[in-house]
Structure 1
Amino acid sequence: GLSAGATVLALTAAAVPPTIEVGGPAPVLAQELAGAADPQARLAELLAASSGSLPNNLAPALPKVKSSRSAVYRDGCHVDYDSTRNPPCVYGNRASSRTVVLFGDSHAAQWFPALQGLATERGWKLVSLTKASCKVAGLTIINRHKPYTACDTWRSNAVARINALHPALVVVSSSDAGDPAEPADDTLRQWTTGFEDTFRDLGTSGAHVAALLDTPWPKGDPVDCAADNSLQLHACANHLPGAIHDATRQSAIRGAAAATGAAVVDPRPWVCAVRTGICPVVVANTVVYRDESHLSEAYAAALTPVLADSLDRLVGSS
């Protein structure tokens, strides 16, 4: 009887995780940015004022952050490692004469909630073309211990499809992780050339190209850290410049953009406090990351008005 009782208690404890301690309420991030005259300035204030405690109005709740996925995942539009083509994935106003394309890997897909919000507000047609771990640069990388040739094929097919669409804007982004299959002595030059090739190929359609730099990375698993340190969140924060996964890659993107006329959008001040360089795991009432490198869906969606400042002029001038 005692053994049976102990087993029931153990199973109950496993099924009902311990309550996470929280602090008081925080401003609602999405509302704060949507209602601000200057969303970027308001975001900077909220980043600088990030609390050391999980707020009691966190949205979504911490256990739901990791599992929340945008429509590109739910619809099968972010394709896997072996795929060489995307299914038709069109969002926003399908009949619009203004087409915006999202192109890259999962670090491009993380921006889909913000771009979908903009497409809905502005009446754009949004086409999403993203593939797991596939870089924007025209460069073969290693994936799962072998050359990622499926990525190269996918990239060529995607660029051809984009050029056939004649979009107003192509937003490109990819993770700073991943190594060339054949590393060159001058890594900066190798990556710069790879990005230049893709940016030029995309530019043949007449589209503006906006290169969205990779976001700063968190320190370990930020969601697990927040659960373990709910009243001491500063222990989970990362810092610049260490939060930049590969500064060489970002320099390569800037160099390629300068050579091809692409625009560069740097999200560092959207994730890290400018003055201190601290990159918190929670801003206002929203968790910043869902895992070791990707923004949470809720945080990306809240950044819609901030991203708008960078993209509206590019779409409008097409």
Structure 2
Amino acid sequence: MSISSTDQPTTPESGPEAAPVKPASAGTYRLDLDGLRGIAIALVVAFHIWFGRVSGGVDVFLVLSGFFFTGMLVRRSDAGAVGVPATLKRTLRRLLPAMVVVLCAVVVAAVVLMPHTRWSDIASQTLASLFYYQNWYLALSWSDYLAADPSVSPLQHLWSMSVQGQSYLGMLLIVATVAWLCRTAIRFGSARTAVRFPILHRLGPGGVLRVALAVIFGVIVVASFCYAAHGVSTQQGWNYYDTFARAWEPLAGALLALAAPYVHLPSLIREGFAWAGIAAIAVCGWLVNGSSVFPGPAALIPVLAAAALILAGSGRATSDQPMVNRLLATRPMVKLGSFAYALYLWHWPILIFYLGEVHQRRAGILGGTVIIAVSLVLAYATNRFVEEPLRIRATPTLPARARILAGVAVSTVGVLLLASTLAWQWTNSANAHAVGELDPAKYPGAAALTDNALVPRAPMRPTVQEAPADIAYPTRDGCISDFDTRTVITCTYGDKNAPRVLAVVGNSHAEHWIPALQILGEQHRFRIEVFLKMGCPLTVADDAMYKGQHNPDCRDWSAEVLDRLAAEKPDWVFTTATRPADNGGDEVPQDYVDVWSALQDRGLHVVGIRDTPWLRRNGIRYRAIDCLAGGGNRVSCGMKRDDALSPENPAAGPAAAFPNLHLIDLNNAVCEPDQCTVVEGNILIYHDEHHLTASYSRSLAPELGKQLEPILGWW
């Protein structure tokens, strides 16, 4: 990725004009940008470990990547041809070895330190990282990148490497294609064309290539920037990882690679650019909450800051650059930049495994210092013994044997890594399946709490392997709008021919009652119409949020659902009435009360069900299956009831103002008097951190029927 220290002279084209124009100082090696790369990654590491924020360093890194890579491609074109296969080989040789080593270490650490219930996701993300589609994997699941905690994947940070790899491939294909077209057009251009367009022959293939690339990249930058700006306000969870939204950042660096050799700024302006650039990079993480607004317009802060530092030192020898650039070009900064890539790869998994072992959300000063020290040592070793032997040609200090040994070692590790992850995915997929009807004599489930049913000795069902597939029916059937789907999706359950209608409305916590309602609907002949969207309880708020991010799709989806409910007039609307409070217990957000008012204004009768407990410790979510697989039991993997639920239903007070609203609470069928366990009546309650398994939901049908009967009056 670094700019080459030499350029081959451009061959003059025959014609009426002089030799092609060649940019000044095109081959000057930018040591200061090596140092800037090190500073950018150092900020990423510090902000991840100590502040739980996005620093903007990755955005700087993407700009520099585009600058280095495009400069290299254009110089190769000047020397003859870009060479797509050779460039791909060189790029993969530079990027993959360190990646393979880190991925292998993460897989080994996951096997040793994590319960086997998490291995499947680690295997999936290993493959996604290895083949550079990790960003899409995370976008599809809308993973939370606000801060590190033990529930976060140790490979989540590799989304940026996937964006970088995809950007490299796109830029390589564009430059190679445009270079070939330019050479072909000039080679076969007629004399008349030379007279009519003399500028083409004066510029020569290299100059024409630069102009053409500037136009193409400029158009893509504008389109990508507008797309990213729109995505911030519509689907930021997807937008953050989207390659198309991120494309303008590396392409901004590409445009700088094309333009910088021609830019000659006065000394005073260069000094101002340098100081402003480094200051903006240093404070960017405090100025904006990057995970909520990048790569939209707010990302102009780190991108323009990187551009300012690139332009400040452009066309100048190191000794003649601004003071900031000279400091960045000092040996310690350049050395840090040399293993910045490896440092980025190592720091995040070490942080996540550390937090998992100490069961905390933050590393603290001492813990963070240890993490950084270990990361630096591993990054240096990876750079010294893996990256350099495979990137640098054999020398007396680096014999060919070292290159061969490093290549064989990394290749062997890579093959074993790929084979093991594929094998695990193949074998594990056979174990994940929904559980069928369970014998109530062996598996009383909720009846053990509500009716003191006898609980015989029997293996827990679903098992920890079966649980992830034992989900509510709408998700299984594609009848719930996902995080990035605005469309209202409806499906019918229960007795599909019954005249009486219960509309189940809201998010996945309304959805997980469908298995129980399905039984009641078939028994008592009523139809269930679902209006569900992930992460979206029904809302009338203008600024709907999910995981701290704007979620306008939820607002628009809710507005359409309210209109449809008003038009279709179901007999009853079933939705959640509470949610967990950040400081423990549960609560009724004001938005829920506003929704009750909106439903009442539309003449709708509402059943509001109190939400079930969410598994959390120290504010950190955890899965019951992970805890059980790690050696915990039904009690130790659960929560104290006082931590999960308030002493009284918090919806009771505000609900008194709404005669159309009737409350029900089934938490006595989920929790014991003092404890909310994760297994009752031999049935696992949760398939993840907070959603009921379909099996346990079905066991709740009798109690749900008892509480609904006096309200609905249908049986």
TM-score by length of 2: 0.35
> What is the total number of aligned residue pairs between the two structures?
277
Show the counterpart of 1:280.
Answer: 677
Q: Distance in 2 between matches of 1:26 and 1:127?
A: 28
Contact 1:102 1:129 in 2 (8 A): yes
Q: Do the aligned partners of residues 134 and 178 (structure 1) sit closer, same or farther apart at CA in structure 2, a change above 3 Å counting?
A: farther
Q: Do the aligned partners of residues 315 and 26 (structure 1) sit closer, same or farther apart at CA in structure 2, a change above 3 Å counting?
A: closer
Contact 1:136 1:174 in 2 (8 A): no
Moved more, 125-134 or 253-262: 253-262
| 3-state SS of paired residue (1:151) | helix
Contact 2:446 2:696 in 1 (8 A): no
Letter in 2 for 1:147: H
Q: Distance in 1 between matches of 2:593 and 2:714?
A: 22
- The structural deviation recorded for 1:158 is 0.9
Letter in 2 for 1:200: S
Letter in 1 for 2:442: V
Q: Deviations over 1:155-210 (max 9, x none)?
A: 1111121222222211111772699xxxxxxxx89x33x22332232234544211
1:153 aligns with 2:563: no
1:162 aligns with 2:561: no
Q: Do the aligned partners of residues 40 and 99 (structure 1) sit closer, same or farther apart at CA in structure 2, a change above 3 Å counting?
A: farther
Letter in 2 for 1:255: G
Moved more, 101-110 or 88-97: 88-97
Show the counterpart of 2:544.
Answer: 141
**2:705 paired residue among 305, 308, 312:** 308
**2:482 paired residue among 80, 83, 96:** 80
Letter in 2 for 1:41: T
- The structural deviation recorded for 1:296 is 1.2
Contact 2:489 2:532 in 1 (8 A): no
Q: Distance in 2 between matches of 1:32 and 1:217?
A: 17
Q: Distance in 1 between matches of 2:685 and 2:700?
A: 11
| 3-state SS of paired residue (1:210) | strand
- The structural deviation recorded for 1:92 is 2.0
Q: Distance in 2 between matches of 1:178 and 1:134?
A: 17
Q: Distance in 2 between matches of 1:40 and 1:27?
A: 14
Q: Distance in 1 between matches of 2:475 and 2:701?
A: 19
Show the counterpart of 2:303.
Answer: none
The structure with more strand, counted as a fraction of residues: 1
- The structural deviation recorded for 1:282 is 0.7
- The structural deviation recorded for 1:71 is 2.2
Q: Do the aligned partners of residues 95 and 317 (structure 1) sit closer, same or farther apart at CA in structure 2, a change above 3 Å counting?
A: closer
Q: Distance in 1 between matches of 2:714 and 2:495?
A: 19
Q: Distance in 1 between matches of 2:503 and 2:677?
A: 30
Rg larger in structure:
2
The structure with more helix, counted as a fraction of residues: 2
Contact 1:218 1:289 in 2 (8 A): no
Q: Do the aligned partners of residues 164 and 28 (structure 1) sit closer, same or farther apart at CA in structure 2, a change above 3 Å counting?
A: farther
**1:173 paired residue among 568, 576, 586:** 576
- The structural deviation recorded for 1:116 is 1.2
Q: Distance in 1 between matches of 2:517 and 2:579?
A: 21
**1:201 paired residue among 590, 598, 602:** 598
TM-score by length of 1: 0.75
1:223 aligns with 2:586: no
| 3-state SS of paired residue (2:461) | coil
Q: Distance in 1 between matches of 2:506 and 2:544?
A: 14
**2:517 paired residue among 103, 108, 115:** 115
Letter in 1 for 2:655: A
Q: Distance in 2 between matches of 1:196 and 1:70?
A: 26
Q: Do the aligned partners of residues 164 and 292 (structure 1) sit closer, same or farther apart at CA in structure 2, a change above 3 Å counting?
A: same
Unaligned ranges ≥5, structure 1: 18-24, 34-38, 180-187
Show the counterpart of 2:644.
Answer: 243
- The structural deviation recorded for 1:266 is 1.8
Moved more, 79-88 or 153-162: 79-88
Letter in 2 for 1:77: C
Q: Deviations over 1:19-64 (max 9, x none)?
A: xxxxxx995344884xxxxx9731xx36xx989xxx5432223310
Q: Do the aligned partners of residues 131 and 81 (structure 1) sit closer, same or farther apart at CA in structure 2, a change above 3 Å counting?
A: same
Q: Do the aligned partners of residues 136 and 95 (structure 1) sit closer, same or farther apart at CA in structure 2, a change above 3 Å counting?
A: same
Q: Distance in 2 between matches of 1:283 and 1:79?
A: 31
1:104 aligns with 2:506: yes
Q: Deviations over 1:207-247 (max 9, x none)?
A: 421111111122421111122226x4322121121113xx5
Contact 2:450 2:703 in 1 (8 A): no
Show the counterpart of 2:670.
Answer: 271
Contact 1:218 1:279 in 2 (8 A): no
- The structural deviation recorded for 1:153 is 0.9
Q: Distance in 1 between matches of 2:688 and 2:711?
A: 31
Letter in 2 for 1:281: V
Contact 1:113 1:297 in 2 (8 A): yes
Letter in 2 for 1:264: L
Contact 2:472 2:693 in 1 (8 A): no
Q: Distance in 2 between matches of 1:76 and 1:268?
A: 28
Give structure 1 regions of 4+ aligned residues with deviation exceeding 6 angstroms: none
Show the counterpart of 1:182.
Answer: none
1:131 aligns with 2:533: yes
- The structural deviation recorded for 1:93 is 2.2
Q: Distance in 1 between matches of 2:440 and 2:698?
A: 18
Show the counterpart of 2:299.
Answer: none
1:257 aligns with 2:658: no
Q: Distance in 2 between matches of 1:32 and 1:142?
A: 33
Contact 1:137 1:198 in 2 (8 A): yes
Q: Percent identity?
A: 25
Contact 1:26 1:284 in 2 (8 A): no
Contact 1:143 1:178 in 2 (8 A): no
Contact 1:238 1:279 in 2 (8 A): yes
Unaligned ranges ≥5, structure 2: 1-411, 429-438, 617-621
1:28 aligns with 2:445: no
| 3-state SS of paired residue (1:260) | coil
Show the counterpart of 1:41.
Answer: 450
Letter in 2 for 1:257: A
| 3-state SS of paired residue (2:487) | coil
Letter in 1 for 2:675: I
Contact 1:101 1:126 in 2 (8 A): yes
Contact 1:92 1:125 in 2 (8 A): yes
- The structural deviation recorded for 1:271 is 1.3
Letter in 2 for 1:151: C
| 3-state SS of paired residue (2:536) | coil
Contact 2:610 2:665 in 1 (8 A): yes
1:298 aligns with 2:707: no
Q: Distance in 2 between matches of 1:144 and 1:283?
A: 30
Contact 1:172 1:210 in 2 (8 A): yes
